[in-house]
Amino acid sequence: MRYSLVRVAEPSDRQVYHAIRRSSLWEERGRLGYDDARPEELFPNHHALLLKRDEAGIGTTRLDDLGNGTGIVRLVAITAALRRNGHGRVLDAMVADYARALGLGRLFVSAASDAEGFYSSTGWTRLTGDAPVLLGQAEGFVPMTKRIVR
């Protein structure tokens, strides 16, 4: 099994990226209105990332580089059929490596409350202090942070 984490650039990767997010984070949760044309998806400091296993897209996230040594991990998803098989841990580790290569030393995530256990088990802690304004605050989500060694 070979994993890779790619910054989404190719149209075929972008299609898979949005399909995973739409299904996992909107449709499965009964939400409507997923918009794959949101302008922030194309900001140069926003890194749309696709986790591939043996060249097939299986997971997504977006890493927003805040420009001050910190970043926000957004909309983490693994395809439904492959969850609970360690792929999320692989994605988490590969995103940390990617962030480290960008020069980031601290990450933030607004974790769905039902995913807090996963994040805690991979080194994230509940945020006790100020969060970046761009992290946002929403009911049912837990602000978390993780330091990554540069």
In order along its 150 residues, the chain shows pLDDT tens digits of: 899 999 999 999 999 999 999 999 889 888 898 998 999 999 999 999 999 999 999 999 999 999 999 999 999 999 988 898 999 999 999 999 999 999 999 999 999 888 899 999 999 999 887 767 667 666 678 899 999 986
Radius of gyration for the alpha carbons in the chain, expressed in angstroms and rounded: 14
- Rounded to a whole number of angstroms, the distance between the first and last alpha carbons of the chain is 27
Q: φ, ψ for residue 11 (rounded to 5)?
A: -55, -40
- The range of the structural domain enclosing residue 132 comes to 3-147
Tokens of 88: 């999320």
Q: Which residues pair with 65 in a beta bridge?
A: 71
Report the CATH number at residue 133. 3.40.630.30
**Predicted structure pTM score:** 0.91
Count of domains forming the chain: 1
